[in-house]
Structure 1
Amino acid sequence: MASQTPGTGAQSQTVQPGRIAAISLHTSPLDQPGTGDAGGMNVYIVEVAKRLAERGIAVDIFTRATSFEQPPEVELAPGVTVRNIAAGPYGTLDKTALINYLCPFVHGMLRAEAEHLGGSYDLVHTHYWLSGQAGWPVAREWGVPLVHSMHTMARVKNMSLAEGDTPEPEERVRGEDALVALADRLIANTDDEAAQLINYYGASPSRVSTVFPGVDLTTFTPGSRAESLRRLGLPEDTILLLFVGRVQRLKAPDVLLRAAARLLELNPSLRDRLVVAVVGGQSGTGYREPRLLSDLADSLGIADLVRLEPPCPRAELVHYYRAATVTVVPSHSESFGLVAVESQACGTPVVAARVGGLPTAVRDGVSGVLIDGHDPHDYANVLHRMITEPRWRERMGAAGIHHASGLSWESTVDGLLAAYRDALHQCRLTVPCR
């Protein structure tokens, strides 16, 4: 149950949650980030849950079961339990279909809570709009606050669609509108996202908390570039341009390939040393275009330079970051840009689109370069300078390490706990919760 610590002033006590229900309906925290629907949000949920548990706050993460072989409960870490709820047919479902299985998912959550001997939950934190749709009736049934993180927003994505991409459905827009009205607290990843919640969704500023995501500073650290290149089977003089993330038009890996082709037009002598690595799997609209990048590489005449690699664990991913000359994040929409921060933590500068949370994730002109738009020529010009001016690149790499050091998951949890306490305090004043 909620614990209390002494306070000052009219409110003599500050409420702290003892047990939290986190909801990630459409993607499991146990999935490998970088493919399907697993990405930065999965990393966020796992890292936050672990650190909350280290502070004595139990976290149960509810997600939809995708196989009959999955056990109902999986211990992710001490104090963190993943609960697989049967809702709809097993197997991977398109996100647009999941709205049809909210009722069995909600029922499964209520049943799991009723059967559990560990006590009731003090707060519900939902991630992404589908989870929010499942979370608000559960939070009201339990009489606890609903905290919601959008992670991405339909209106924002639809304003910056890549060519050939599919707009988010109106059903999602309406669902997000409802969550903004229903949630006791909205968590924004950046000040930019907070402004979008207020300006595009009419959120009350008093219910929006900005909490920067973090990076695992024990895993993503500087290291020997030469050693990492050897581990990847690449010569020490390799110029490695790196993309990490889900392969879909929204993330724009095609911009990197087009920029690499333009780079060779600017400086043909680079060809013998240039490698373009795309680390990630198909996702979203990418499933409909499984050969998008390979066909593009062929048409650009750079197929021999492009390595399409599957998603990999963090212990292996760190070597890609360390080996890279530069990491490129050309997304059309990005709520934060975890890849950019991971790269900087390893000492590798970033070239990224000036969208969403990337101006927070990257210090423009200091730890990387932000580019307006998605013209491959603009990216190629900056990449050429990165390659041909190593001292400039190295200064940015050093600055990136410093910048990333201020974005720890511990700081993220500090901010979340402050938001949780505010939500719990308001809930006590307005019982039952809104």
Structure 2
Amino acid sequence: MSTGKFPTTIVTNTPVTQTHQPFACARTKIPTRQAIALISEHGDPAAEIGKDAAGGQNVYVRQVGEALAKLGWQVDMFTRKSSPYDATIVQHTPHCRTIRLIAGPETYIPRDELFQYMPEFVDALQKFQQKEGTNYPLAHTNYWMSGWVGLELKRRQNIQLIHTYHSLGAVKYQSVSDIPAIAQTRLEVEKQLLEQAHSIVATSPQEKADLENLVSRIGSIDIIPCGTDVSTFRPISKADARKQLGIGAKEKVVLYVGRFDKRKGIETLVRATGELRSKLEQGAEIDPQNLKLLIVGGSDPQEADGAERRRIEEIVTELDLHANTEFVGMVGHDRLALYYTAADVCVIPSHYEPFGLVAIEAMACGTPVVASAVGGLKFTVISEETGLLVPPHDVSKFAHAIGRILTDEVWARKMRKQASTRVHQNFSWTGVAIQLSDLYRYLLAQSLVGSGLKPVASSPAALVSKLIAS
């Protein structure tokens, strides 16, 4: 996930119609635009990135939506309204908007408690369609609960359904000790999606393998990676970036970007930093006082992720790392590239990442990455060429890998160039949107000739009834 903010958008607290919306004229100039729905029930595309549950999924949906609009689609992105103070509709560009539907209380609700409100979400989406007179023959859903919404819409309206998991329960539950009550329902929905959606978009070969090995051998899977804004995340002068951020030229900067969540492995990074500092104190070419850990992202300590932030702060105190650590907090999108560029290494110690947007943002800026050898990170990071991959949770190996990059400037300089080249050649949002657009058009063409459709064995609504009854 990225912790930046998107550019200013036009918002309204009342439903925007063809008559009243600011871009109505621009929209009606191209009557041939096909409307499609991107559904992200908890990952609000218009949210402030890095706060509470806002992370990589929000970035993905927003960036894909805007890029698809540039390719000629009318893109409506549906999410759940989590605050009465949030605008009902946010118009990002003339042909791309976020629509917040009321489904349950208008307040933040943890993801594991949201599923019970998904029937309301479906009803609200259909009422919106009817009010606007808009037909969505295709929906691209994101995360398993949005996928459930898609399955229900497919049953009612026979839409073309494309799904991106963003996180796979069958993998996630292997790495956590506290399994939520919703786990079995999630696993059932994820299996239904693979077997019944018209296409699953996996963001890496590793995710496709996980789906086939852990979920089901039945299903159509296309590999289309995530992307990054290569116009924002690009190589710039490291000296200029440090000057703007007030970072000294001699400091060795280790960077973390992301929200506070145990699964992000921040504890591993903090302990690795402590171990590395101890080694430097024993004699090395780097002054241990110049070792700097910057933790960028997360929200206020009193917000939903505040408990994890406080836990990390306690570990910093335990290891006496206050002089070496700075909690930067949330950073605007326009300044995030400065932090990537100013850093000597960006560390992604996650226990699991289906893709890992931070990795390609950092590499796009020419910053080597040390990442856990899990999920999509094994696809985005080429070990020994654009960074290093190490086992998750392994404090000593993280410390060693970070130390290697910090102490070998010639090798690090070579990696910086290779990292930037890899991202700019393979991971632009425009390129991602072109692949998705081609997939959408293929599936819509299939629907017109009546091929490629898969029957829904049973109503996905039965899972809600099952959950309520249990």
TM-score, normalised relative to structure 2 = 0.84
Distance 1:343 1:418 in 2: 28
Distance 1:242 1:432 in 2: 47
Partner letter of residue 427 of structure 1?
S
Q: Is the 8 A contact 1:28 1:63 kept in 2?
A: yes
Distance 2:87 2:270 in 1: 42
Distance 2:175 2:113 in 1: 24
1:303/1:72 CA distance change after superposition, 3 Å: same
1:410 aligns with 2:430: yes
3-state SS, counterpart of residue 367 of structure 2: coil
Q: Is the 8 A contact 1:188 1:209 kept in 2?
A: yes
1:427/1:23 CA distance change after superposition, 3 Å: same
- Alpha-carbon RMSD: 2.1
Partner residue, 2:226: 213
Partner residue, 1:183: 197
1:65 aligns with 2:81: yes
- Equivalent position to 2:95, from 79, 83, 100: 79
Partner residue, 1:359: 378
Structure 2 counterparts to residues 314-353 of structure 1, below 5 A: 314-353=333-372
1:201 aligns with 2:220: no
Deviation at 1:73, TM superposition (A): 1.8
Q: Is the 8 A contact 1:363 1:403 kept in 2?
A: no
Deviation at 1:285, TM superposition (A): 8.8
- Equivalent position to 1:267, from 276, 280, 284: 280
Partner residue, 1:13: none
Partner residue, 1:6: none
Q: Is the 8 A contact 1:35 1:245 kept in 2?
A: no
3-state SS, counterpart of residue 267 of structure 1: helix
- Equivalent position to 2:149, from 109, 129, 134: 134
3-state SS, counterpart of residue 335 of structure 2: helix
3-state SS, counterpart of residue 441 of structure 2: helix
- Equivalent position to 2:36, from 11, 15, 20: 20
3-state SS, counterpart of residue 291 of structure 1: helix
- Equivalent position to 2:112, from 93, 96, 105: 96
Structure 1: segments with no counterpart, 5+ residues = 1-15
Partner letter of residue 270 of structure 1?
D
3-state SS, counterpart of residue 382 of structure 1: helix
Partner residue, 2:8: none
- Equivalent position to 1:43, from 59, 65, 76: 59
Partner letter of residue 181 of structure 1?
E
3-state SS, counterpart of residue 382 of structure 2: coil
Deviation at 1:20, TM superposition (A): 0.7
- Equivalent position to 2:242, from 219, 224, 229: 229
Partner letter of residue 393 of structure 1?
A
Partner residue, 1:173: 187
Distance 1:273 1:192 in 2: 37
Partner letter of residue 135 of structure 1?
G
1:257/1:341 CA distance change after superposition, 3 Å: same
Deviation at 1:430, TM superposition (A): 4.5
Partner residue, 2:271: 258
Deviation at 1:84, TM superposition (A): 0.9
Partner residue, 2:167: 152
1:287/1:171 CA distance change after superposition, 3 Å: farther
- Equivalent position to 1:280, from 279, 286, 297: 297
Deviation at 1:63, TM superposition (A): 0.6
Partner letter of residue 316 of structure 1?
R
Q: Is the 8 A contact 2:45 2:62 kept in 1?
A: yes
Superposed CA offset, 1:374-423 (max 9, x none): 21111111211211110111110011011111211122112212322332
Distance 2:314 2:240 in 1: 32
Percent identity, please.
31
Q: Is the 8 A contact 2:33 2:72 kept in 1?
A: no
Moved more, 290-299 or 136-145: 136-145
Structure 2: segments with no counterpart, 5+ residues = 1-31, 456-470
Q: Is the 8 A contact 1:144 1:433 kept in 2?
A: no
Deviation at 1:287, TM superposition (A): 4.7
Partner residue, 2:29: none
1:285/1:356 CA distance change after superposition, 3 Å: farther
Partner residue, 1:120: 135
- The number of residue pairs the alignment matches comes to 415
Q: Is the 8 A contact 1:32 1:312 kept in 2?
A: no
